[in-house]
Structure 1
Amino acid sequence: MAKVHIENYGCARNRADGEFMAGILMLAGHEIVDTIEEAEYVVVNTCAVKDPTEVKMARRIRELLDAGKKVIVTGCLPHVNPSVIDERASAVLGVKSIDRIAYAIETAERGEKIISVPDWRKRNLDKLTLPRLPTSGISFVVPIAEGCLNACTYCATRLARGVLKSYRPELIVNWVKWAIERGYREIWLSAEDTGCYGFDIGTNLAELLDEITAIDGEFRIRVGMMNPNHVIKFLDELIEAYQDEKIYKFLHLPVQSGDNEILRRMGRTYTVEEFEEIVAEFRRAFPDLNLHTDVIVGFPGEDEEAFQRTVALIERIRPDKVNVSRYSPRPGTVAAKWKQLPGWIIKERSRLLHHLRLRISYEINMEYIGKRLKVLVHGPGKKGNIDAVTMNYKHIILPSGDAGEFADVEVKGATATYLLGERLHEDF
């Protein structure tokens, strides 16, 4: 039996996929090891959302092979651009073929190589029925769906994940109960687009949240990214579900552009006005809402006026965080065929928007100083302090705390990316 190390890159879905593969391998008798040095096989669970990410994945695969490791490539890269995967890889599995991970090693041991990608659309894999070996900690990722209902002209991820497949509510609820019973205190509901969950099986995200919040125990739910074109269809119902204290008052709602014509070219099927309506309604219900959004700069056709509309939208909406991405054409997408903007323009627009979003984030976070808040302690941070999150999922650094405990704190300082706090020992 082999010693296997799994490297996960990209989204929370990939992290969950890695844990499913670990569970399958363990049941097959293989040993999951923590370090590269111990491993005979390394599973590289790839991301391919952007061109720089793809380059990083291809380089990592080569590094491991050059170091004498046997490499199995999984994740989105085999779907998006398999030509960059080193031919020395022992196996290549698509995102809906992770259940074949043990077979891939058995085949490689015989000197053969499986490439389980071309037939992925024919597979109807229900990942929540697979065995799972979760990592330790207080956060547990529960995939609620795979694929999406959008047809964005720039997105390669949908070429990998496919059309929406929502997992059955009872399976999701069972995994949440399983996690809570084992001490996890934070549930991440994950999908390519949580906003369209259930549209294919006669339910929706709000109904799912109602079922999860009814579970006994003290825990919190972090809802993953949802697209405006779906949220607008059940906005009132979703806001009502969010009223439960178990749900973080956190909303990740990508806008991508502040110009309606660019949104049309992107295939986003909503307007700037609809995005703003959703934000306004959420903020009306939850004044302390932590709003994250995504913006792509330099999309084909984005002239200076269109870009300035995006700038104006960000200044008007003032999100807590803006994820700024420079557009890069992805293989197999419609937008890759269009006339591309010069790189220097894209770089300059990204720089301007980056500075704007940092200023806004800093100004918002400074307003928290002096507030007394309840937090969930995550545990030791990267710099030796303790990382925690507020009930609207703001990261806050504390001098002390035990992972998994709920604590009362006072905010003493702020940066553009996190808060600084001290614990309170009296009731308030």
Structure 2
Amino acid sequence: MRVHIETYGCTRNKADAEIMEALLVNAGYEIVDLDSADYVIVNTCAVKDPTENHMRKRIKELLDAGKKVIVTGCLPHINIEAIDERVSAILGVKSINRITEAIELAERGVKLVDVEQRGIDKLELPRMWKSKVVFVVPISEGCLNACTYCATRFARGILKSYSPEKIVRWVKEALAKGYKEIQLSSEDTGCYGFDIGTNLAELLDELTSIEGEFRIRVGMMNPNHVIKFLDELIDAYKDEKIYKFLHLPVQSGDNEILRKMGRTYTVEDFETIVKAFRKEFPELNLNTDIIVGFPGESEEAFQNTVELIKRVKPDKINVSRFSPRPGTLAARMPDQIVGWRAKERSRYLHRLRLAISYEINQKYVGRELLVLTHGEGKKGGVEGRTMNYKEIILPEAPIGEFVKVKVTKATATYLMGELITSSL
């Protein structure tokens, strides 16, 4: 039996896809390209309404083309009614260990639907070793927040942290296989360990004590958790094995909107964290997220967000228009913002973001930097990451190595450079 896997969304979904692929291969299934596949697994994302619509369309396209489709990922939890009834099986994010069973039942004409929330430990499941440079390690699943707009928590549930011992074991195995970058993944890495008597800083200390030349990229963390152990986290970040990269979503620069969002921190908390990190790491690569058009967002509230961005000047801003998701409190709130106004605000912030990013990136031109090369760039050349996780494109370079480069040009979204030395 031949299977093709399509994965959408976050790094957690990519890790889930590698688990399913390993289970299938171990059971004797062949992983193939789309044209050759008997079954297509669509590992879905449904964080926003446009994403859900894309998932709907893709599933229908595959079914209309005569493919047998199995749907996994977040969509089954968030809006199972959006899934075409012709699919062969539906599995939630905590049922992926049943993927081979789903195909076996489908072959007998039985449709398995399992979206139960259960205590599955994904670090006990096998993984396919795909890239030879970057390895994603899930450190927990679920979160401790109750954001009024978020439907992902319906899929991933309440925080379940994986044991530090298992995480260390996976990291050591990846390094032994030659991987050079470890990406710690979770819905919110900032609350890792709160349910098992530890925290992210303690985990990072354990991981950086592992011998070898490698780097760790820490995934998104929310301000309300980070501020609880800020000094400890900054101390952990001082190790050279950790990229000086911080993904800290603020979502709004207005405290009243943050309250309506259920974010449980203030703009001042966010700025306190940023200032503390930048004091220790002046070249911190700060990424943040903004939602525009949230219900009740007045022009004054939006301008508060604009002023925050101008003060803080993040390296990158992920701007999203508010999208009402099924079952969320925000979807039922009064004072919904009309689409054209949200789009107008989104465009303004996007232009501001590009201007700020371009200004920051220009400061790198002419400098010599250490870079870890990842692989072929989407538009040619070799893509790599600096030690603060800036993307850089090189004309040529060995893959999966730490190399010294000179930055020759900068755009708003990436750097360009040339190879000076490598370990080859």
Structures share fold, TM-score greater than 0.5 = yes
- Corresponding residue number in structure 2 for 1:29: 28
What CA distance in whole angstroms lies between the structure 2 residues aligned with 1:347 and 1:208?
40
Trace 1:247-396 onto structure 2 (pairs within 5 A). Answer: 247-339=242-334, 340-396=336-392
1:55 and 2:50 are equivalent in the alignment? no
Residue 380 of structure 1 aligns with an amino acid whose one-letter code is E
1:107 and 2:105 are equivalent in the alignment? yes
Structure 1 residue 137 displacement after superposition: 3.3
1:200 and 2:199 are equivalent in the alignment? no
| Contact 1:379–1:387, Cα closer than 8 Å, also in 2 | yes
What CA distance in whole angstroms lies between the structure 1 residues aligned with 2:379 and 2:338?
39
Structure 1: which 5+ runs fail to align? none
What CA distance in whole angstroms lies between the structure 1 residues aligned with 2:371 and 2:127?
29
What CA distance in whole angstroms lies between the structure 2 residues aligned with 1:30 and 1:425?
43
| Contact 1:144–1:167, Cα closer than 8 Å, also in 2 | yes
Residue 366 of structure 2 aligns with an amino acid whose one-letter code is G
| Contact 2:402–2:422, Cα closer than 8 Å, also in 1 | no
Structure 1 residue 134 displacement after superposition: 2.7
**Identity of paired residues, percent?**
70
- The structure 1 residue matched to 2:206, chosen from 204, 211, 230, is 211
Residue 399 of structure 1 aligns with an amino acid whose one-letter code is P
| Contact 2:403–2:422, Cα closer than 8 Å, also in 1 | no
Aligned length, in residue pairs: 422
Q: What value does the CA root-mean-square deviation take over the aligned residues? A: 1.0
Trace 1:105-254 onto structure 2 (pairs within 5 A). Answer: 105-117=103-115, 120-121=116-117, 123-254=118-249
- The structure 2 residue matched to 1:420, chosen from 416, 420, 424, is 416
Residue 18 of structure 2 aligns with an amino acid whose one-letter code is E
Structure 1 residue 133 displacement after superposition: 1.2
Three-state SS of the structure 2 residue aligned to 1:322 is: strand
| Contact 1:72–1:90, Cα closer than 8 Å, also in 2 | yes
More displaced 10-residue stretch of structure 1: 366-375 or 268-277:
366-375
Residue 12 of structure 2 aligns with an amino acid whose one-letter code is R
Runs of 4+ with deviation above 3 angstroms: none
Residue 22 of structure 1 aligns with an amino acid whose one-letter code is E
Structure 1 residue 426 displacement after superposition: 9.5
Structure 1 residue 136 displacement after superposition: 2.4
| Contact 2:69–2:88, Cα closer than 8 Å, also in 1 | yes
1:400 and 2:396 are equivalent in the alignment? yes
Three-state SS of the structure 1 residue aligned to 2:35 is: coil
What CA distance in whole angstroms lies between the structure 2 residues aligned with 1:41 and 1:237?
48
- Corresponding residue number in structure 2 for 1:42: 40
Three-state SS of the structure 2 residue aligned to 1:37 is: helix
TM-score, structure 1 normalization = 0.98
1:155-187: CA deviations, max 9, x gaps?
000011000000011110100011111111110
Residue 221 of structure 1 aligns with an amino acid whose one-letter code is I
1:226-261: CA deviations, max 9, x gaps?
000000000000000000000000000000000000
1:76 and 2:74 are equivalent in the alignment? yes
What CA distance in whole angstroms lies between the structure 1 residues aligned with 2:230 and 2:4?
42
Residue 423 of structure 1 aligns with an amino acid whose one-letter code is L
1:239-289: CA deviations, max 9, x gaps?
000000000000000000000000000000000000000000000000010
Structure 1 residue 99 displacement after superposition: 0.4
1:198-243: CA deviations, max 9, x gaps?
0000000000001111111111000000000000000000000000
1:302-349: CA deviations, max 9, x gaps?
000000000000000000000000001000000000121111110100
| Contact 2:401–2:422, Cα closer than 8 Å, also in 1 | no
1:341-390: CA deviations, max 9, x gaps?
11111010001000000000000000111111100011211122111110
Structure 2: which 5+ runs fail to align? none
